[in-house]
A and B are shown apart, each in its own frame.
Chain A
């Protein structure tokens, strides 16, 4: 069954440090996409980065990179040089391409950046 697991309910990081947010997934579909979203206190969902299951290289978008380890079924988000504005909830999500094509989310990680 399609499932996303985020095991870190909360994380506290000093400003300017790098941070890794964990995400593992489960699927039997060989074709799938993995997403990371940021949700500030306003509630809006901000798209950060995408990784396709057939992509050979890890995705990067500015300070965000996705550490994709297919054999381990993990898709960790790495934020380099964290900023105070990075404080928010972060969600990992997956969408199967061939199966039910649901877009399912993990429980999220609340990231707090300390000055």
Chain B
């Protein structure tokens, strides 16, 4: 079955450590997105990518980094520069950068906690 997979589901990080969240899709989608969600809040865009080897900063990119070396993969690194990384992280993909009638597919999310 096609879909988008995030791993791990739960992640614990010590202060000062970098951690990488995985996002993989086998839908052949061009565009991929990373969001951060705090309790009771909306989704805030961290980074997005419309094509391999290219990505753009979203609204809250500070303290995060990404790569897009393969079409199906868009990992997010939460660096030690991110002051308050505890949050729920969602990855999404959408089929084509120019398509109108499309659904954005989401992974199940990664819940990151700093201990």
Contact with B along A32-56 (1 / 0, CB 8 A): 0101010000011101001011100
Known contacts A95-B94, A101-B31, A103-B94: A35-B42 contact under CB 8 Å: no
Contacts of B50 in A (CB 8 A): 101
Bound CA span A35–B106, Å: 13
Q: Please tell me if the beta carbons of A95 and B42 are within 8 angstroms of each other in the complex.
A: no
Q: Quick one: which of B36-56 are within 8 Å of A by CB? A: 40-45, 48, 50, 56
A102 lies within 8 A of chain B by Cβ: yes
Please pick, from A6, A97, A102, the residue contacting B58 in the complex, using a CB distance under 8 A: A102
B85 lies within 8 A of chain A by Cβ: no
Q: Please tell me if the beta carbons of A33 and B31 are within 8 angstroms of each other in the complex.
A: no
Known contacts A45-B106, A103-B45, A104-B45: A52-B100 contact under CB 8 Å: yes
Contacts of B48 in A (CB 8 A): 101-103
Q: Please tell me if the beta carbons of A33 and B100 are within 8 angstroms of each other in the complex.
A: yes
A107 lies within 8 A of chain B by Cβ: yes
Known contacts A102-B48, A106-B42, A108-B42: A50-B101 contact under CB 8 Å: yes
Q: Please tell me if the beta carbons of A54 and B100 are within 8 angstroms of each other in the complex.
A: yes
Contacts of A101 in B (CB 8 A): 31, 48, 50, 97
Q: Quick one: which of A66-106 are within 8 Å of B by CB? A: 91, 93, 95, 97, 100-106
Return the chain B residue nearest A45 by Cβ: B106
B23 lies within 8 A of chain A by Cβ: no
- Nearest first, the 3 closest Cβ-Cβ pairs linking A and B are A45-B106, A107-B42, A105-B43
Given contacts A103-B104, A105-B35, 13 further A-B contacts (CB under 8 A): A6-B42, A33-B101, A33-B102, A37-B106, A43-B108, A45-B92, A52-B100, A97-B99, A101-B97, A102-B33, A102-B58, A105-B45, A110-B40
Residue numbers of A with Cβ under 8 A of B are 6, 31, 33, 35, 37, 43-45, 47, 50, 52-54, 91, 93, 95, 97, 100-108, 110
